Structure 1
């Protein structure tokens, strides 16, 4: 795992607009860390819940290694991977952190911020640091975690001034990656965010 400078493509997002980072239903990566252990997993079931303060809801199955880290640390980082990260999303979503260190195995680069114990995955379009809310009964019964977003960032090439710029990523190249988000529709099939439309 290589750690890189967090100033690279990491611009703060106003918390009142943090919900917009996941309001369009992307597949996300969740990273968590506790007591020297860390993991990252792919999650399709997540959503914003509130504006002030911003909150999110995410389903984390009891069987996952990440679940234990989230419960022990009381936090997680939710991040929006891009089309260019599809192979990474598949790899971290189909392997267990109990058997391998996914960061090393998948060659993930990370970012470190003072607001989170867990590493942020480099190359994503957005990141939200989330503190778990005390709703243990809901988590135990439904695997549903509610959390408050305490910090958020985005890659300004993809999200700027409170809105996604997917129309600016139509022709990706080595110097201009495809920063559209991924959307899992079950059975291993994904779609990318489409062209913006005006209503």
Structure 2
């Protein structure tokens, strides 16, 4: 097989970590939602998630101040709303309204759940040591919600520059993990 060199700026298109999410934040009467795709599971019990958020985003300031958020996981049917949300700033408009997203009160945190998403993870910031260098927050999931009617969700995965891949068929392979 003949391979060619890939520009280093395109490596992210090969190793994108997981489904695109909508990260909601709130602090002192302000709220925001951002499209986010740079996150990773760090631990399973308790669940810890690492995520990268640019300090240029309004959500960065709200997360840093409140130290809590909700990771809302949309299905492919919310693709247009996800793209609209990712291409707008919440500094001048209410992105929930502009993107057709319904905020709902969370149980453990002040940030809102997004009703249209099939899953919502209420999180608290537990480590900010890598925020100054990398914008990397470590979040602990405090409460998780999932729509039991959604059996095999089709999630979006960002491939760069407006291109998304949709999670496909589920297969089973031998595994010792339960």
- Give the shorter-chain TM-score range: 0.7 to 0.9
Alignment of 1:19-168 (within 5 A): 25-135=18-128, 137-158=129-150, 165-166=151-152
2-side partners of 1:133 and 1:36: how far apart? 23
Instruction: Give the equivalent residue in structure 2 for 1:184.
Output: 158
SS for the counterpart of 1:185 is strand
2-side partners of 1:63 and 1:113: how far apart? 26
Deviation at 1:133, TM superposition (A): 1.2
Aligned length, in residue pairs: 157
TM-score by length of 2: 0.84
Deviation at 1:126, TM superposition (A): 0.9
2-side partners of 1:198 and 1:147: how far apart? 30
Instruction: Give the equivalent residue in structure 1 for 2:7.
Output: none
TM-score by length of 1: 0.76
- What stretches of structure 1 move > 3 A for 4+ residues in a row? none
Pairwise CA RMSD: 1.3
1-side partners of 2:85 and 2:166: how far apart? 19
Residues 157-187 of structure 1: CA deviation (Å, up to 9, x unaligned): 22xxxxxx32xxxxxxxxxxxx411111111
Deviation at 1:48, TM superposition (A): 1.1
- 5+ residue gaps, structure 2, are 1-16, 174-178
Instruction: Give the equivalent residue in structure 2 for 1:176.
Output: none
